[in-house]
Homo-oligomer: A and B are copies of this chain.
Amino acid sequence: MIVLGGNQYGKAEIRLVRVDRSDSGSHTVRDLSVSVALSGALEATHLTGDNSAVLTTDAQKNTVYAFAAEYGVAEIEEFGLLLARHFVSSQPAISMARVSLEEYEWERIADTGHSFARSGREVRTSIATFDGEQSWVVSGLRDLVVLNSAGSEFWGFARDRYTTLAQTNDRILATAVNAQWRYAEPAAWDASYRTARDLLLTAFAQTHSYSLQQTLYAMGKRVLEGLPSVAEIRLSLPNKHHFEVDMSPYGLENKREVFYAADRPYGLIEGTILRDDAPPAGSAVWGGAW
Q: Which of A74-82, A106-114, A131-139 contacts B (4 or more CB under 8 A)?
A: A106-114
A3/B210 in contact, CB under 8 A:
no
B225/A2 in contact, CB under 8 A:
yes
A164/B58 in contact, CB under 8 A:
yes
**Residues of chain A from 225 to 267 with CB closer than 8 A to chain B in the complex:** 225, 232, 238-239, 242, 245, 247, 249-267
Contact flag A242-B17 (CB < 8 Å), given A51-B210, A59-B165: yes
A110/B202 in contact, CB under 8 A:
yes
Q: Which of B162, B214, B232 makes the CB contact (< 8 A) with A62?
A: B162
**Residues of chain A from 157 to 200 with CB closer than 8 A to chain B in the complex:** 157-165, 172
Enumerate chain B residues within 8 angstroms of A49, measured Cβ to Cβ. Answer: 209-211, 213-214
A144/B117 in contact, CB under 8 A:
yes
Number of interface residues, chain A, beta carbon within 8 A = 144
Q: Which of B2, B93, B264 makes the CB contact (< 8 A) with A273?
A: B2
Which residue of chain B is the closest to A272 with respect to CB atoms? B5
How far is A16 from B262 in the complex, measured between Cα atoms in Å? 9
A201/B11 in contact, CB under 8 A:
no
Enumerate chain B residues within 8 angstroms of A284, measured Cβ to Cβ. Answer: none
How far is A91 from B158 in the complex, measured between Cα atoms in Å? 9
Enumerate chain B residues within 8 angstroms of A50, measured Cβ to Cβ. Answer: 156, 210
How far is A40 from B80 in the complex, measured between Cα atoms in Å? 36
B164/A5 in contact, CB under 8 A:
no
Query: Which chain A residues have a beta carbon within 8 Å of chain B's beta carbons?
Result: 1-21, 27, 29, 31, 33, 35, 37, 42, 45-63, 65-66, 68-70, 90-91, 93, 106, 109-110, 112-122, 143-151, 154-165, 172, 201-202, 204-206, 209-211, 213-214, 216-217, 221, 224-225, 232, 238-239, 242, 245, 247, 249-277, 287-289
Known: A15-B264, A68-B258, A112-B205. 17 other contacts (CB 8 A): A2-B221, A14-B265, A46-B214, A47-B214, A50-B156, A51-B211, A54-B157, A59-B160, A62-B162, A62-B249, A66-B252, A70-B252, A112-B151, A117-B144, A120-B122, A162-B250, A289-B289
